Amino acid sequence: MKRTEIETDRFELSGRPFNKPMFEAESMDAVERRVWESGSGRGVRKPVNRRRLYMAGTALTTLIIFCAVLFMGPLSENTNGTIRDVTTPLYPQRVEAKEGLMLVDDYSMSMAGQKMEYYSGGFGRLVVDPKIRTAEQFRRGDVLYYRLPSISGFTPNPDISGSDSQTARVIGLPGEKIKIEKGRVYVNGKKLDTFYGQAKSFGLDEAAYFKNMKVSGRKDACPPDCVKDTEAYFNTSMAEMEVPAGALFVLGDFWAQSHDSREFGALAQGNIQGKVLGYDEAGARSPSQIFASGNLWFTGIPGKIGIVKGQILTSHFSKIVWHFWGSREEFEGKKLRIEGIHTSDGVKKPVLVSEDDSIVWEYKWGPTYGPVNGADATQPTGIKLDESGQWRLDFYLGGKFFASMFVNAE
């Protein structure tokens, strides 16, 4: 399935005199002729080097642009009634978890984009600066980590949050008026024209989402009722509200999977736990990835193995349907063996749960071949990981190594 990439121009100069070269070939020729014709005898000047002239023109253009940015700011507020953000990165960076910073796991999908941004499953822990906790320390576009408010009329959905904390992005600052109209965010009456200024699903806007669905070829992926609900989501509206002093209006990038200011209003300063700086640079960079298949998102290795949910609980055994990709000969009649290795000690353990609830190394049966969610074979299993943290699971089919993937246990 082809995924539509989001494109955001870093610097828009349309409507200004900088969108064309200041010196074209004809202009250079005319200048050169004048130089030749203006001199005679000893006063004749040497022809101007066209390359130098072009470089001078380019330098002048760059200087003008620099001055424009210096005096106008990052073009964040335009006179055409829009607010743009050309500095906030689309994807989180890898940063060093220095002393005084917090490392947190966030398995909510509140910020899930096309690459499952800010999701700890398969990408590692998030680095949070707890010293940045006041509303005045944040700018629009920053990502923060916060406790879900405990207020009357708001009850968190455990299927969305997964815990009492999650991540979201700063949209409105103290004193600003925020509203949502047909899936678009407006700040003080101006459209927030950024990659995070409208309703999206896994980073896709309405047109791209339905195009992807059509390309997938699954006619049952979204029946009429689903289409109606999805269209309503992409056209979400919210009455205008003013952000009080000492508070912030926050939204997840994936509204459908986020508890944010649409539900509980402006986020009080006391609920802010810190600013998210990025992923832990020193964390294990596992080969597991987030990828799409059959209109579902998987954690695993594209074209090899994956599971729909990347988080496994240690409090009880988990039921998982493993999806495999490969030839029929790799799966048919092959027993499945899984060896679990916690990344902290490297000790191999059996992790499969048998029918009598005992822990075993191997099942007496193997995957069933046949297309399911875009995969070539599937096998449901029970699995028990007895320690939280990151595990590497080694898969064997018929005694032959098949693949390794990393999962996180909570």
Specify the range with the lowest mean pLDDT, choosing from 100-109, 211-220, 282-291: 282-291
Sign of CA pseudo-dihedral 323, 329, 333, 337:
negative
pLDDT attached to residue 197: 96
* pLDDT over 80 (residue 287): no
Residue whose token pair is 């796991």: 105
- Residues of the chain with pLDDT > 90, as a percent, come to 44
Tokens encoding 146: 């916060």
pLDDT at position 247: 98
Q: Please compute the mean of the pLDDT values over residues 150-179 and round it to a whole number.
A: 90
Residue 16's pLDDT is 32
The one-letter amino acid code at 323 reads H
The percentage of the chain sitting over the pLDDT mark of 70, rounded to a whole number, equals 76
How far is Cα 340 from Cα 58, in angstroms, rounded to an integer? 59
Residue 349 has pLDDT above 50, yes or no: yes
Of the listed ranges 33-47, 80-94, 233-247, 254-268, the least confidently predicted one is: 33-47
Q: What is the pLDDT of residue 103?
A: 86
**pTM of the full structure:** 0.57
The whole-number average pLDDT for the span 134-160 is: 92
- Take residue 100 and report the two structure tokens written for it: 């005084």
Comparing C-alpha atoms, which of 334, 298, 324, 316 is closest to residue 382?
Answer: 316
How large is the average pLDDT for residues 192-206?
Answer: 94
DSSP assignment of 289-326 equals EEEEETTEEEEEETTTEEES--EE-SSS-EEEEEEE-S
What confidence score (pLDDT) does residue 376 get?
Answer: 93
For the ranges 4-18, 113-127, 208-222, 304-318, the lowest mean pLDDT is seen at 4-18
**What local confidence, expressed as pLDDT, does residue 217 receive?**
66
